Amino acid sequence: MADELMSIRLFSFPADFEATLALWQTAGPGVRVGRSDAPSEIAKKLTRDPDLFLVAEDAGEIVGAVIGGFDGRRGMIYHLAVAASHRGRGLGAALMQELETRLKAKGCVRAYLFVIPDNTDSLAFYEHHGWQKMTVLPMGKDL
């Protein structure tokens, strides 16, 4: 990260919830906030991989966040977001690098993420950092 005042740390629930939710809601088309982002769902996520939910702070303000998951075999990346005021300074790359390092330490050998096809900025960012497009059709179902 270019700015020494910024730091990456673990997400703290519930203290960081509102600021992180606001970041996701204003991140643009790449982050879609849904029912899995409700406080009760975030609390459940933290019982599994609390060390894979990271936030970036600048002068006490949350300006970046990313969630990782690991099922014992594969990793998933969710909700990478950087405040518009802090983009272009390496913060997204730093969050991803820290998350990838943590996933590797858990034994993860492959991770996945989803990008909305017309989100060209995100596609370019991920490709620049070694992520490759896959020819699969994701499917989902609300339970």
Along the chain (143 residues), what's the average pLDDT of each consecutive run of 10 residues?
75 98 92 94 95 96 98 96 94 97 97 91 94 91 90
Q: State how far the alpha carbon of 36 is from the alpha carbons of 42, 45, 78, 88, 104, in Å.
A: 7, 9, 11, 29, 25
Sketch the domain layout of the chain as residue ranges: 6-128
pLDDT for residue 29:
81
Which class would CATH give 6-128? alpha beta
Name residue, tokens 């900025």: 121
pTM of the predicted structure, to 2 decimals: 0.91
Percent helix, strand and coil across the chain, each to the nearest 5: 35, 20, 40
